[in-house]
Structure 1
Amino acid sequence: IGGGFIGLELAATARKLGAEVGVIEGLPRILSRGVPKEIAAIVDERHRREGVKILCGARIATIGHQGDGANILLADGGSIAADLLVVGIGATPNTELAEAAGLAVEDGIAVDETLRTSDPDIFAAGDCCSFPLSHYHGRRVRLEAWRNAQEQGTLVAANLMGAAKLVASVPWFWSDQYELTLQIAGLADDAAVTVRRDLSDDAFILFHLDGEGRLIAASAIGPGNAVARDIRLAEMLIATGSRPDPAALASPETKLKKLLGV
């Protein structure tokens, strides 16, 4: 249950191991959180080609035991029997300790740009905290990704020693499913313009710009490491607040390094 990264990665792995797999998603499409529909459609098609049954827009009425397995009754009256049921529908941060300590909580433990909580002697890092992103006008976010947790842990350690470093990294996510790798840098929610650059016959990158022409995110998909280099360069462009020419972004002949000035 759940057509996000966790559910789909598990579906791909289970299918490669020979299991019959079904994915139940309540929203109209899979990967609706932060993944452009063009890329989500490719992932959807790849799973279906592999034999995964994907049911979108489905509402679950009840879940019950059926022998050693489970039976899922859908709101429309249909039912699905399964030997094993895995629910991957999102994460809720554990904030009970923070609340008991009187710390401010806002979709997670609220911290400032140094990851300091409302108590100056307490810091928080990783999936449990929400923090302001300078690249997005101080927008407060909570990121559930390993690199974010790793980088924030290092930053907190430095700040506990008095470094006063600020959160400056660009959000980055990735997922491997079958031979495909999906990578996203930045947050595309406020994009006004999206430009596509084809990297090869089976790989492309989407550049997302805001209303002022600033590059705020990039989304890409392709086999293996086909998109890794371009996403890394896009991440650097986002970090510098670049306003590249959309025509240059769309043209494979224009090197992204040139847009960085290196």
Structure 2
Amino acid sequence: MNALSSIRSVITSLSRKGSDGGEDDMAVVNRYAPVSLQDLASRTHYSPQEIQLIYRAFKNDCPTAIIYEDKFKELYSYYFPLGDARTFAGYIFSVLDHDRTGCINFEQFLMAMSILTRGELTEKLRWIFNLYDLNADGRITPDELKAVVSAVHEMLGNHTTPLPPSEDTIKAQVARIFQKMDRNGDGVITLDEFTKSCLEKSKSNGKRGFMLTTSHGGRGINISQTVLDG
């Protein structure tokens, strides 16, 4: 499983855990987002009925309808027992917690799930760009990309490779990605550069997805799938 596919898989899995929710299932949501089911449906790719089902599953793990970073890392790490997923999960949490409150409410969770499972190509690309843009300044630097790539390797552990990649290997991976995406050579990747590079690669491959692949020890490693299938 590659890194970005794992995001969608984990979020979807969390939403599918059964619950005994009743007719008052949306009561807690209104505490954080005083909007109707119809309003949530109008801002996502889900129907009101689907939102109710997703909320019941969300509340099963998060009875108060919010999730804090430590809990999110714990849940995410469950799916990667052979590695350490905490750093990568923390980066994902930062994208979800866009208002920096230290917790994720149901609406934030739902919006991310909607993009990753049913969003348009450009929506997914923007979301993934934000994952790499760690300080949210609209640019991806080599250090930011290196941090995320390193976190992916930590998460995968020995599931994909027999040994962790060296520092030089990771630096080489980052350099190759920048060579492809830093179109004007100014040392950073903007959203426009990121999007154009992904879309052009997607068209040349005749596929919807663009895979940034690297290798270690002669074996391919899918560092991140920038466009999630579906």
| Larger RCO (CA under 8 A, 6+ residues apart) | 2
TM-score by length of 1: 0.24
TM-score by length of 2: 0.26
Q: From the CA coordinates, give the structure whose radius of gyration is larger.
A: 1
